[in-house]
Amino acid sequence: MQILTFTSLFPNKVQPTHGVFIYQRVAHYAKLPQCSVQVVAPVPYFPRLLRWKRWSFYADIPRSEEVAGLRVSHPRYPLLPKIAMPLHGLFMFLGCIFSVLRLRKEIGFVCIDAHFVYPDGFAAVLLGKLLHVPVICSVRGTDITLYPSFALVRPQIRWAVKQATGIIAVSNSLKQSLVKLGIPAEKIRVIGNGVDLERFGPMDRAAARRELGLAENEPMLVSVASLQPHKGHQFLISALSEIRNQFPTLKLYILGEGPFRKKLERLITEENLERYVFLKGNRPNEELKLWYNSAEISCLVSSREGWPNVLLESIGCGTPVLATNVGGVPEVITSSELGMIVEQTTTSIKEGLEKALQRTWDRDALVRYAQKRTWDNVAEEMETYFLECVGS
């Protein structure tokens, strides 16, 4: 079965970790017998002559490339940041028409696998109607938990999910959000994300810390999340400040980048935590295994999530997690043997950390749990659903 995956979230030469969770799903699906995938990952057009740090890197993304064995096209589309959000999906559709038409002639794909309802899913549904092919749209989080709150975008999201042949929600919580938008429950298939156990597995903690150049005898926390206000790092930092007397050598390493960095740096200074909290920026995906294995606890304290991959990645390394009770988090942390579920408040996070750091965790049990939900499992569920949609 020939599939066209359509998503603006996909690794590329300039952003090797961009949308790596989508790459994992697509790559494992492509390994199945009788399956073939071509990826269209559109990017905004940006003139090469202009060198504006925040946007100029788009000009350096090649028009086409191969990403770990997958053929990827990067058609350009016009975009005015923030101002043009209500037109984002339409612009993406217009910028991709000729590339997708060419691929239709070359490989004859039978359906479009779209990721993120808006703008990607909206554009994909328009393409599907133009080419008379079914579109299966995957809902991942912000596209349903946040974007429908925008008055001019909400109708486009409703239209896209209603017109799509099938909908994949990565968690039951997202499915319920879709039902509230008026989508029939029977149209939605819940297929959670998986974990790559070849990339995320247990190793000796001391060895992992030596490889990262970290002290071997100090307790540490790790948080893998972008530096955005909703990711809640500010609450985690404040909670660490409150348990300093109890855990005087405890360190926190935050892996990620984003616009909230300066405010977090100020908070770290205000709390006198410069020697205890470290913003390490974006790290290569293959390096995350070392960080998970080095930490006593992996933390994710967001105010919203879909199905956060970092939880299963940490658990696959044998490291328990502390996460907020949002989105699909309770669907991942199904037992107190896997981690702690808290609220996004300093007090709740503080209490959770105190309990988690004083507890003895069964690393083998954590790894066994992760082994039940691999990307291979996800790929097989996808194939079954795609065949149902194509045949319908």
294 neighbors 214 (Cβ within 8 angstroms): yes
pLDDT for position 50: 61
pLDDT for position 159: 95
With CA atoms as reference, report the closest residue to 22 among 125, 146, 161, 116: 116
Q: Are strands 277-281 and 251-255 parallel, antiparallel or unpaired?
A: parallel
* Structural tokens at position 154: 């909400």
With CA atoms as reference, report the closest residue to 76 among 124, 40, 118: 40
pLDDT in tens, 100-113: 999 999 988 999 99
Question: In the chain, helix, strand, coil percent, each to 5?
Answer: 45, 20, 40
pLDDT for position 53: 63
Mapping DSSP to helix (H, G, I), strand (E, B) and coil, where does residue 64 land? strand
pLDDT for position 62: 94
Mapping DSSP to helix (H, G, I), strand (E, B) and coil, where does residue 112 land? strand
Domains and CATH numbers, the chain: 2-194+374-391 (3.40.50.2000), 205-370 (3.40.50.2000)
How many Cβ atoms are within 10 Å of 361's Cβ, its own excluded?
16
Phi-psi region of 234 (alpha: psi -120 to 50; beta: other; left: phi over 0): alpha
pLDDT in tens, 122-142: 999 999 999 999 999 999 888
What's the sign of the alpha-carbon dihedral 90, 95, 99, 101? positive
330 neighbors 300 (Cβ within 8 angstroms): no
Residues 280, 270: Cα–Cα separation, whole Å = 19
Tell me the pLDDT of the chain averaged across its residues: 93
334 phi and psi angles, rounded to 5 deg: -90, -5
| Half-sphere exposure for 25 (CA within 13 Å, toward CB) | 26
45 neighbors 64 (Cβ within 8 angstroms): no
Which residue ranges of the chain lie beneath pLDDT 50? none
- Alpha helix (H) residue ranges in the chain: 20-30, 88-107, 122-131, 142-145, 154-163, 172-180, 205-212, 233-242, 261-270, 288-294, 309-316, 329-332, 346-357, 363-370, 375-391
